[in-house]
Structure 1
């Protein structure tokens, strides 16, 4: 198991390196000048040229990328913001807890809506409950997050006045953003739960449990649901990463001071270090979440952990046999 984790961590290195190259090229090859964005349209060509020289933007792309990677690898620095002049890593770490909290609230909404709805749809297949659950799933998948956020703010904040439309200062402020982020992903979880449960409840051991007189609730929860945890963990783990990306739009709509809004504002001002650092940081978090999901497999399904143990024991036996020979 330890070797598997170490192997996965080493595999992250080329992935993150490729991300830095792609983001760097996309930013620098896209039309626009950060110096002009910083100084405004009234700046003279001499002032723009001087600022470009100060920021190192006149160097070729290879030199700029090498300088960026040197600071990242040897100093752990993501650079300095062109706009605020502050350290990018510090700015990201200050805002990231807010984004994580939003993603966590979204996952709670996802699980609360997606898993029970999928179970009901599978157990009551082809009934009106199944049709309602399927409609909710299609509705959630098809609805863009920005449109849903605007509708929720319009109805619950402006018309009813029940919930605040902006900010992230307490549980009351978390409801609308969490629903906006979580409803779309709950549809994915619901569809996965339904399809997996439909496959499992047709298995022989489920029929055997029912024939023995086990209560239907126990059959569904202890026998069926426990055996569909692997695909559910996979989907939920992947949705955490997608919610970090979806938080950018949600944070902008509800004026939440998180990492997503910080990146959106940086894109409009061509703040290259912030964009590169934010994307790289998000990629690292997403990769770590995927690694944790893989590790959770062993705890959700003991058979996987046993396979790793058998594989390790087989390799040790082969080495011993080779030495004896």
Structure 2
């Protein structure tokens, strides 16, 4: 186990270095800079600002400084908001994004697993057709299209839930639902196909032949094995929820990472763009490692180190 985790940590650091390098190169390939795009500064002011942020140095020197500061967990100061560091902005905004993401993932997991089980148990019957139609709609409609739709009907027409904001429980429902719908559909389809595969296995027929109640066969034998493919996608799904929340947070005026990320792209705020990208990449890599470690807990036959038990 420790050797496996050690290898993964080395690969994680290598992956982060590659991502950081690519992000730096892409930022430098974009025409213009944060001081000459739309803001009208005198030439001397622009020169002073570039010197302040180290943009007057050569590209290799900027890269070395960037990687060195990154190794120290120093993401620098925001260009658009000079009074705050990127570390402070992320530490303030990430808990909000994480809370929204947690609600969305919990909703997606519960609803998706329930829909998949229902569709599998009533295969080729009305509940199956209804669940799969809902799943197709969920996959087809992006979250940023669903969000205004929910605001229009639940906020403006029916006045059931608030249009935007953050802090009160009712304000969480609409953005969490908008984020969760796509993942609900994906989990439901995957859970259905996995359930249909597991219920045909010999040990399920044996459990039924012993006279076990149907609910016990499903909960103790079928569900535990059928949910493994769902666990496989949970790492990327969690990261996708956080990424999707960048736009959703802007639509619902939520003070999360999305607010700073969208504004940084508009203003070409290099430190915020690169800092947010690295933070997101680190989170995604950590989620993938956590998913791999979860395999062994769900199914003891799976060995984390790569060896199959005999």
- The answer as to whether partners of 2:194 and 2:227 remain within 8 angstroms in 1 is no
Is residue 2:86 matched to residue 1:84?
Answer: no
- The answer as to whether partners of 2:101 and 2:241 remain within 8 angstroms in 1 is yes
Deviation at 1:304, TM superposition (A): 2.1
Deviations, residues 219-262 of structure 1 (Å, cap 9, x unaligned):
22211111123212112232101111111011111011101221
- The answer as to whether partners of 1:189 and 1:236 remain within 8 angstroms in 2 is no
Structural mapping, 1:88-99, within 5 Å: 88-99=86-97
With over 3 angstroms needed to count, the CA separation of the structure-2 counterparts of 1:282 and 1:306, relative to structure 1, is closer
Deviations, residues 14-55 of structure 1 (Å, cap 9, x unaligned):
110111111111112112320125xx5443334333322332
Higher share in helix: 1
- Structure 1 Cα separation of the partners of residues 285 and 151 of structure 2: 33
Is residue 2:50 matched to residue 1:52?
Answer: yes
Number of residue pairs the alignment of both structures matches: 309
- The answer as to whether partners of 2:301 and 2:308 remain within 8 angstroms in 1 is no
Normalising by structure 1, what TM-score? 0.90
- Structure 2 Cα separation of the partners of residues 207 and 165 of structure 1: 50
Mark the runs of 5 or more structure 1 residues left unpaired by the alignment: 315-325
Deviation at 1:207, TM superposition (A): 1.6
The DSSP-based 3-state class of the residue aligned with 1:34 is coil
Deviation at 1:274, TM superposition (A): 0.6
Match of 2:246 in 1: 248
Normalising by structure 2, what TM-score? 0.95
- The answer as to whether partners of 1:141 and 1:187 remain within 8 angstroms in 2 is yes
Deviations, residues 150-198 of structure 1 (Å, cap 9, x unaligned):
1001111111111111111121110001001111111111111011101
Match of 2:25 in 1: 25
Match of 2:120 in 1: 122
Is residue 2:161 matched to residue 1:169?
Answer: no
Match of 1:11 in 2: 11
Deviation at 1:112, TM superposition (A): 2.0
The DSSP-based 3-state class of the residue aligned with 2:95 is helix
Structural mapping, 1:45-194, within 5 Å: 45-73=43-71, 75-85=72-82, 86-194=84-192
- The answer as to whether partners of 2:302 and 2:308 remain within 8 angstroms in 1 is no
- Structure 1 Cα separation of the partners of residues 139 and 231 of structure 2: 19
Mark the runs of 5 or more structure 2 residues left unpaired by the alignment: none
- Structure 1 Cα separation of the partners of residues 77 and 141 of structure 2: 37
Structural mapping, 1:217-296, within 5 Å: 217-296=215-294
